[in-house]
Amino acid sequence: MERALKVEEYLFSVHKLSDDGEQNVVNCGNGRDGGDEDRRKQTGNARINQEYITTNPTSEIHYNISQATCNTDRKKLMVCCPTSNSTTVRPIILPDTTTTLPSTSVTPQTHHFSEGEKLLPSQCESNMTGFQPNLFVVEGQDASLGELPWVALLGYDNIKIPIWGCGGTLITEQYVLTAAHCVHSYYTRGINLTVVRLGEHHLGTEPDCEGVQCAPPPQNFSPADVIIHPDFDTRVSISDDIALIRLDRKVKLSAYVEPLCLPPAGMDVEVLLAGSQAEVAGWGLTETGQKSLILQKASLPFLNTTTCNPHFNYTLVQEQICFGGGAQDSCRGDSGGPLVFRGSSPFLVGIVSHGKDNSCGVLGYPAVYTSVAHYRTWITKYLRP
């Protein structure tokens, strides 16, 4: 078991590893594409990984390694190898258990995108104009009751007493958008998503009230389908970190539960967001390091890729956007949770994806988000009544 744990730790890093064909020695690149000068020799655990791959083809370790391959050359096996300068997805807080459950991933039937478009909220505007940037709110704070009716909570393991580990965003009456790593067995350690909750505000009270205003009880749903983007990269850059969850029934719409608009397909996010902020939300970590009982929100500054790239061991792709770097970041939110832009109508600009190492709310350390505008066509392709 000690050996398996070493391999698991070994996989959660960001360098490339390949067999050079000479005496089982491997070359470990530094994450750049700079050639031989960017490589160093490494032995030890790398060969152990190779042995697991070749001698235990049905083992869980073999599966984990296969999910962590870093192939750019399909003729060479490449897996992630250790480094102290790693990329870390926002943590999914799950119990330390060896329980293995079937994956929730399914292969859905696709539908013509125009059918999916019809399922999106009718009040959403295709022209996102009239934005008035709020450049003054920089610290996380409690959201007001009913202020963010699209925020979803994802629960794992026990359906009656779930472990709340990720967030999501309601985008239609029956679909929630989240990060792929929130529902991929490589990150959830085989523990299934069991419940999706909407209309929650304070995890410790029911009903939720502010003064004389009280919200109805939150609505719980089972995941009927989980659709992970086929190009989701579990390796270095964690790209295409997006997934759809179809609920087992439609939500009951109210002032406390309603879907959020998607951005127009192909919207130039960098032009729109330059010099602006967006709002992250969730029950994430507070300044005390504990998860909040009350839904939190925080405004984060946008960083262009030129400013953001030096913070990571890879170059952001166009489907990724960067926010934060100040005293607050998406620790205030949850993995898979929404990053919202306030235009004439609010819309979902990003999904909380990952940060660097375990830095959280540290000056100068931004986080990476999945840019939803690049996936609108993919999203609507899989929506069905």
Boundaries of every domain in the chain: 2-85, 113-382
Domain 113-382 matching CATH 2.40.30.10: the answer reads no
Average pLDDT (146-162) is 93
Query: How far apart (Å, rounded) are the C-alpha atoms in residues 238 and 254?
Result: 35
Q: Which tops the pLDDT comparison, 22 or 144?
A: 144
Over residues 83-134, the pLDDT tens digits come to 334 444 544 444 333 333 334 444 444 545 568 888 888 778 544 443 333 3
Would you state the pLDDT for residue 173? 97
**241 catalytic, yes or no?**
yes
Q: Is the pLDDT of residue 45 over 90?
A: no
Q: Is 75 helix (H, G, I), strand (E, B) or coil?
A: coil
For residues 322 and 303, is the Cβ–Cβ distance under 8 A?
yes
Would you state the pLDDT for residue 4? 30
Over residues 303-330, the pLDDT tens digits come to 888 888 888 888 888 899 998 876 666 6
Would you state the pLDDT for residue 196? 98
Average pLDDT (347-357) is 87
Q: Is the pLDDT of residue 275 over 50?
A: yes
**181 catalytic, yes or no?**
yes
Using H for helix, E for strand and C for coil, what is the string for 306-357?
HHHHHHCCCCCCCCEEEEECCCCCHHHCCCCCEEEEECCCEEEEEEEEEEEC
Q: Which of 208, 241, 329, 334 is catalytic?
A: 241
Q: Lowest mean pLDDT of 13-22, 115-124, 160-169, 366-375, name the range.
A: 13-22
Burial status of residue 136 (CB atoms within 10 A of its CB: 0-12, 13-18, 19 or more): exposed
Q: Lowest mean pLDDT of 65-79, 161-175, 188-202, name the range.
A: 65-79
Q: Is 348 helix (H, G, I), strand (E, B) or coil?
A: strand
Using omega within 30 degrees of 0 as the cis cutoff, is the peptide bond preceding 207 cis? yes
Residue 337's nearest CA partner among 119, 133, 116, 148 is 148
Would you state the pLDDT for residue 135? 27
User: What phi and psi values does residue 229 have, to the nearest 5 degrees?
Assistant: -55, 130
Over residues 189-235, the pLDDT tens digits come to 889 999 999 999 999 999 999 999 999 999 999 999 999 999 997 77
**96 catalytic, yes or no?**
no
Q: Which of 181, 184, 311, 374 is catalytic?
A: 181
Would you state the pLDDT for residue 122? 76
Average pLDDT (154-171) is 92
pTM of the model as a whole? 0.69
